[in-house]
Each structure stands twice: as C-alpha cells, then as structure tokens.
Amino acid sequence: MTSYNLKIMEIEKELEDTDHYLDFKTEQVKIEKILKLRDQKNVLILGHNYMKPLIYHLSDKDSRGDSLALSMYAAKSTSPIILFDGVRFMAETAKILNPDKKVLIADLNAGCSLADPFRKQDVLEYKEKFPGAPVVTYINSYAEVKAESDYCCTSANALKVVNHASKDFNSNKVIFLPDSLMGKNLENELGNLESKIELIYPGKYDNKFGRCEVHEKISAEEIRRIRRQFDLKKGSSDSAVLVHLECPPEVLAEADYYGSTSGMAKYLLEHPNLKKVYLGTECEMTSNLQNEFPQIDFVRACQVFCQHMRKITLDKILFSLENEVYEINVEENIRRKAKTSIDRMLSIGR
Ligand code: 13P
Ligand code: SF4
C-alpha cells in the first residue's frame, strides 16, 4: 500500500467517531490529491493547532503542534519542500531555518495582529532607550524584527528564555516584544517568583501596544460566566479552564492553567480524570482536542476565531502544492541574523 493510502486510512480512523467525519467524506478526493502530491514531491506538511480539523490532520502526528514544536520539526526537516499550514510568520521561521528548501504557505496574506504592525524600527527604538538590555522577541514577528533581537521565544518557553537572556547578558532589565499582554503576564510570573528581572514591554513606559486580536477578546467576566453556566469549579479535579498566555492577566487569574496551545494538550494528558474542559483560545483548538480526547466533554461556548489562520483552506493548499507557488523568501542578510535568535531559543528548548 502506498504512503498516501495509509495516511488516508489514518485520517479516516482518527476522525471516524467525530463531528468531522462527514466533512472528511465530502472532501476526501481533495485530501487524496493533496496527499498524493505530498508523496510525489516529498513534502513535509507542518500544521498548527489552530488549523481546521481536516487541514490539521493532513500533518502527521509528529508534524503538528504549537509554534515551538513546529520550529523544532522545521529545524530537523530533510524534505526539499515544506508546506506550512499556519500563518506567515510561522512559515517564515521555517524558511529562516531551511534556506535551501522551498517553503510554501497556502495564502501569503495569512498575517497576525501581533506580527503585522511591529517593525525593525520599533526594536531599534527600544534598544536605544534601554542600552545593554537583551531583546527577547516573541516568535509572532517577522524576520526583520527577529534579526534585531537577541532571542526568539514562544509562549511555551518565554519565561525560561527571559531568565536565560538576563543571565547571559548580565542585565536585570530584559526587553520583551511585541505582545503587551504576554509581557504583563510574564512580569506577574517574575513577581510571583520574586525575581529581580525587570521586564520592559510595549505599553509599560510608552503608549505602544502589541496584542493578539483573538485572545484580547476573551474576558474574565466571560470565564466566570462559563464557570457558572457549565459548573466548572475552579480547582476541581474533574473539570478545568485552560487559557492561552496571550490572554489578558485578569483572564489568567480565573484559569486553572495557562500556557501555549501544546501546553494545554499536555495538561489534558497529565490530568486523566478531567471530564469537562473549557479552552480560552482560538476555537479550532477545541475541535482538534475534542477529536484527540473523546472522553472529555469540551464546553462549546467559544466564539473567537483567527481570521488569519482561517485563510488556509484545502483548495488553496492543493493549488499551492500543484503549482509550487506562494513561496516564502527572506533576504539572506536578515535571515542569518534572525536565525541566531531562533537558534538561541531552540538551544534553550521547552
Ligand atoms: P502557540 O505557540 O501557543 O501555538 O501560539 C501561537 C499563536 O499564534 C497563538 O495565538
Ligand atoms: Fe496572531 Fe492571534 Fe491569530 Fe495567533 S491567534 S496568529 S497571535 S492573531
């Protein structure tokens, strides 16, 4: 049996008893075409946790995940072509790590409200204002920004990277860009740990503000309402509210766990007694985890979708693979500098 046949059988099995089985049957021909091309052209398909289930399942289990996992997979790739099912900054990170490979994304306009407005000039201004302080930049940023930064980080390792940066640069001040809410959340964590590190982030001493347009919409009041409505008691052993680190601080205070998207999946694995769960993050994450954890009843009260992630569709993926179009390119000078900050993060790990 060919590899694409095996993969189709695997997807069918994974989706068999889920809400997405009918969609799979409807789209099966398209999915088969994509997987045939994957095999013919030896393509690695990487898929972010926020992809719609049919797209998410195009990736093998060891090629799906959060931004950190996907960067790690990209760094180890041996395929000549990488198709990135996620947003542009993620595909760009894969290209920075794989300059000799073709990196494709189904829609080059799949942006990110954190990455899009933030430019190299913004980093330079922070460096000038706080000389000697290392710059830790969230992976949700473009190459020109990473190139001016000392470290890259993701929501899975931000605190660890901040600590490394402070130590390596022998500096109590660390600049964290561009997410203001995550900056405040990390500052709170440092405070809880009685750390001497002072975090500087947009909005702390200026009127800049970096935000995820999806997670900023989740409010503490909404979490409290969901807890009441669905009987999700804080600290209970059989239910939990998990939220992303990009949410506002008051939302984190209402949650049982906060972290990266894969951090949430790990939490579920480590708490096998959970019966009811609400996820405060992009809604497709709930669909994907529901398929992976059928024994858990996921509260379907989610209303926040990322318009950028949603630009990636099966039709566009097929077109991109057939024609090998929508390629990511990064100027070599910028790429080399940006790679240093990503390599430092990868060596620190999760
Ligand atoms: P993760 O790294 O947690 O997957 O987050 C990426 C992202 O864009 C969240 O909005
Ligand atoms: Fe960017 Fe938010 Fe979308 Fe993630 S969910 S890609 S941070 S806009």
Whether ligand 1 lies within 6 angstroms of the CB of 158 is answered as no
State the closest ligand 2 atom to the C-alpha of 87, by its place in the atom list counted from 1: 6
Q: Determine if ligand 1 sits within 6 Å of the CB of residue 155.
A: yes
Q: Which mutation among 212, 215, 245, 262 tests ligand 2's pocket best, with the greatest number of atoms within 8 A of CB?
A: 212
| Superfamily name with CATH number, domain 120-210 | NadA-like (3.40.50.10800)
Domain boundaries, the chain: 3-109+309-323, 120-210, 215-298
Atom of ligand 2 nearest to the CA of 281: 5
* For the CA of 140, the nearest atom of ligand 1: 8
Percent of the chain with pLDDT over 90: 98
Q: 141-189, pLDDT tens digit by residue?
A: 999 999 999 999 999 999 999 999 999 999 999 999 999 999 999 999 9
Nearest CA to ligand 1 atom 1: 66
- Around 299, how many Cα atoms within 13 Å sit in the side-chain half-sphere? 24
- What is residue 53's predicted lDDT score, i.e. its pLDDT? 98
For 14-30, how does the pLDDT look when each residue is reduced to its tens digit (9 = 90+)? 999 999 999 999 999 99
- Residue pair 54/317 in contact (Cβ under 8 Å)? The answer is no
Q: At what angle do helices 21-41 and 3-15 cross, to 10 degrees?
A: 160
Question: What's the average model confidence in pLDDT over 297-303?
Answer: 93
Provide the pLDDT confidence category of residue 3 given band limits of 50, 70 and 90: confident
Decide if 120-210 and 215-298 have a common fold.
yes
Please state, in angstroms and rounded to a whole number, the distance separating the CA atoms of residues 232 and 238. 9
CA distance 122 to 302: 34
The fold of 215-298 is: Rossmann fold (3.40.50)
Omega of the bond leading into 178 within 30 degrees of 0 (cis) = yes
- State the average pLDDT for the chain: 97
In this prediction, residues 44-61 reach a mean pLDDT of 98
pTM: 0.97
Pick the CATH number of 3-109+309-323 from 3.40.50.10800, 3.10.20.30, 3.50.50.60, 3.40.50.300: 3.40.50.10800
Q: Quickly tell me which residue has 């390119």 as its tokens.
A: 329
